[in-house]
Amino acid sequence: MNLRLLQINPIVGDVVGNLALIKNGWTEAPSNTDLVISPELAVCGYPPLDLLNEDSFIYSCMRAVEIFAKENRHAPPLIIGCPWILNNARYNAAIFIEDGAIGHVFTKRALPNYDVFDEKRYFVEGNQNNVLTLNGHRLLITICEDLWVCSPKQFIGKSANSETSLSAVINLSASPYAKNQQAEREKAIANFAKEAKSVIAYCNQTGANTELIFDGKSGLYGENGPLSHTPGFVSCSLDINTAALDCNDQVKNSGEEEVLQALTIGVRDYFQKLGFTRAILGLSGGLDSALVAYIACRAIGAENVLGVLLPSEFSSDHSVDDALTLAQRLGMPTKTLPIQACFTQTRESLQESQGRLQPVTEENLQARLRGLLLMALANDEGRVLLNTSNKSEAAVGYTTIYGDMCGGLSVLGDVWKSEAYKLAQHINREKEVIPYNILSKPPSAELRPNQSDVDELPDYSVLDPFLEEIVEWSRPIKLSTSTTLSKEEKERVYELIERAEWKRFQTPPVLRISHKAFGSGRRIPIVKQRS
């Protein structure tokens, strides 16, 4: 049978706009199309979060779908993702539309309730018959997590004779991107396809909504992998025939390029969907700000990204030169606002009452003055401040609250420092975009003379493997397999992680590219007994 998959980029809450995206792909489907498929909850956008607590919101989605069906009665059959209320219970549903009317409502059985997912907070588990007969074809309708944790037998029973065999499994998804996610996804789909003895038409959304980035990769999958699928991170329609046997050649990006694509989409959609057009960031001459500048220029155009140099008496000449060289290569405008005068006056004012300040107070004061000036410029010029802190710094609290933690969006908050070097090297693979000096010099906050990150932390190549174990895999120290740190160093680093929870609680939204990012998917109490 002929299917059309609509890999669209919905906006949460924009019911009219999302239906328009669906209509564009639906009404333009080839005349021989048997069924058009949208992603999960495409009508309201994913994730709608506590909007689902308002019955009026769900009913508005339902009414819009009913009208939508009537207005497009001559289009092919469509199955569309939408929240739905049945018998006073809320469901994550797939709505089948044919000949201008709603024919069936299929409901999601497996409600994920881990990491960034909270579906049991909003929905009731479905238990309806999810088999659709269409033009002589038997189709099993599933929604996202159903493929990962359910068995086809839960939907179609134990019988597998020719009378009950499936023509295809249809899956509506809103599956977020994470590094290495596609391999896990294909394995889960293949296992379901093997047990169902059927191909699977997988329709996933693309784009980004706040922290979550969606890679799409919709397509036709079998028990041996993809038979045909779309490129990632783009909006498109895919017309497929379930009789397809050969896998289309797909362009496979490197891991670094895929991460850069994801972060670029995350920045682009954050700006576009909120109606912002211009960004600002502090250019320190270091690796993190260089990476954020590159990604921002790629996402919204270099002319819309302002880099601000904020040198102090401790800023090295090469840091200023490196920042200016980077900006010139990217084609972005810059401003220079030295903070020395502000710092001297503020320090003197404090010393009148406090006496001599602690060294760390003076260091944090510089970072906060930079944050103050960046936020003032952001306000004055109608820009969004991009945060440039990386995941390694956030993990151990090597950041200044209300200083370098300021911003409307954390671009690298889910990127380990050691990963940042790999991304930069990938950017420079054909020509030197990020100055070599930025990659070769030791990382430094430059808040005191001759400061280096390794004065207070292990080298990031040594530190990050342990941080990944603790943060992303939730391993206790005693089960750590990392051999890069001594037992005493592990205990000190773990203490730093514990102590910094209150800082991370106040961080900007973090673009998620791993299975466990700081933010909504990691919920650790601030006030607790330390282990």
The token pair at 254 is 């490197």
Q: What are phi and psi of 221, to 5 degrees?
A: -125, 145
Helix count (H) and strand count (E) of the chain? 17, 19
Three-state SS annotation for 31-52:
CCCCEEECCCCCCCCCCCHHHH
- Please indicate whether residue 145 is annotated as part of the active site: no
* Catalytic choice (44, 61, 98, 108): 108
Cis peptide bond prior to 508, omega within 30° of 0: no
Q: What length is written for the chain?
A: 531
Measure the CA–CA gap between 147 and 191, rounded to whole angstroms: 9
Cα–Cα distance for residue pair 371/387, rounded to 1 Å: 10
Identified catalytic residue from 40, 98, 145, 468: 40
User: Which residue, chain included where needed, has tokens 């922290």?
Assistant: 211
Active site annotation includes 28: no
Task: Identify whether 441 is a catalytic site residue.
Answer: no
Taking the C-alpha atoms of residue 223 and residue 54, their distance in angstroms, rounded to an integer, is 40
Among 144, 203, 342, 406, which one carries the catalytic annotation? 144
Mention every residue, 6+ apart, whose C-beta is less than 8 A from residue 317: none
Axis crossing angle, helix 255-274 with helix 417-427, rounded to the nearest 10:
100
C-alpha to C-alpha distances, 82 to 46, 92, 95, 482, nearest whole angstrom: 10, 7, 7, 45
DSSP state for residue 441 in the 8-state scheme: S
Residues with active-site annotation: 40, 108, 144
